Chain A
Amino acid sequence: MVNWIWLFFIVASVVVAAVNGKMDTVTQAAFEGAKSGVTVSFGLISIMVFWLGMMRIAEDAGLLQKLARMLGPIVRMLFPDVPRNHPAIGYIMSNLSANLFGLGNAATPMGIKAMQELQKLNPDKETATPAMCTLLALNTSSITIIPTTLIAIRMNYGSANPAEIIGTTLAATFIATSAAILADRWYRRKSPPSANTKPAISKPGIKPPGAGGETVV
């Protein structure tokens, strides 16, 4: 799907630009985009380096395991195929808590670290596992308690009550996240248990019902 969206953007842009006579603008925009891709990645370096350093201390001190145990039941429900004491759980928890408290720049490194841990459980390194898809779904809809940036902008433009959007944002984000979890569950069930499912789970000789296309290794 990413391939098609990407292709659509590029082809549609050039076609529309040709009609509008905006070819120069589009060429320029392409290189501007490339530049900002690099700038954003470089901006991530300092944040990644800092938080991954901090999180290593937390991991070695056993803090991540503590966090994982505290909120374990919820995570086990959302990530049934990740082993109980796997380090991924701790990172998933820190990622979700960072999102929740609006610590945007801490959430990304922890999310990536969680993905790296999940990747260790993945037999096919180029295909996402259901657990990765769930983590991504939770992050794209990102439950946030306090939208700090928006409140700051509203204050800046003289709002009488800058924080009045906390309630509506919380309600909207709750609905979006619920939708993400439900859709994720639905696809998880619908999609064939591919090579991603651990071999130990599928009983030998018995073909799981509904398994099409991909073969179970």
Chain B
Amino acid sequence: MYNFFTGLSAWMIPAIIVFIPLYAALRRKVPVYETFVEGAKDGFGTAINIIPHLVGMMVAISMFRASGALELMLSAVRPLFDWMGIPSEVLPLGILRPLTGAGSLAFTTDLIQTYGPDSMIGRIASTIQGSTDTTLYVLTVYFGAIGIRRSRYALKVGLFSDIVGFFAAIFICLYIFG
């Protein structure tokens, strides 16, 4: 099953990048190379537009972690987790996951290394990491690229689904592997 899936994703991208130009050239007579270059031009500017947004966000998150403010916030919520019977080792992940993709992946890897991939903590951490995306990053990049300044309720929706996903991951794991 796993081999099938890894095999599938290994083939997926080559299949796409062969199929698109081949179909375009043979069926629609599209000048594929010129069209590629024409479309690709937009990529550079878009990526550059994102820089200020991403720098702003990453500065704040990096400071928040380094100052110990994150740790302080965690220690405030920890008793609640103990009371609910949730291993509090995974708690930082709930806060890191929406903020930083690289940070939460590093934290997950650390948990897997410390407690083992087949421990309850390892399984919960893997499930949390895999089931949602980095909300703040997605918002910064997507809205930053097109110059949206007022994001309205988008962040609330993103964070709400992160919280739901976080607890869903924990309780599903406790139920399935418990």
Binding site for B on A (CB under 8 A): 1-2, 5-6, 9-10, 12-17, 20, 22, 25-26, 28-34, 36-38, 40-42, 44-45, 47-63, 101-103, 106, 108-109, 111-112, 115-116, 119, 125-128, 132-133, 135-137, 139-142, 144, 146-151, 153-154, 157-169, 171-173, 175-177, 179-180, 183-184, 187, 191
Q: Contact: A1 with B156, CB < 8 Å?
A: yes
A30 to B21 Cα, complex, angstroms = 44
Q: Contact: A45 with B67, CB < 8 Å?
A: no
**Chain B positions within 8 Å of A166 at CB level:** 5
Identify which of A33, A119, A157 contacts B117 (C-beta below 8 A): A157
Q: Contact: B123 with A168, CB < 8 Å?
A: yes
Name 28 A/B residue pairs within 8 A (Cβ), A-sorted.
Answer: A1-B156, A13-B60, A13-B69, A16-B72, A29-B67, A33-B60, A59-B39, A61-B23, A61-B30, A111-B142, A112-B46, A115-B143, A126-B147, A132-B142, A132-B143, A136-B142, A150-B130, A157-B116, A159-B122, A160-B118, A163-B1, A169-B127, A169-B131, A172-B172, A175-B164, A176-B131, A176-B132, A180-B160
**Chain A positions within 8 Å of B150 at CB level:** 126-128
State the main secondary structure of chain A at its contact with B: helix
Q: Contact: A173 with B44, CB < 8 Å?
A: no
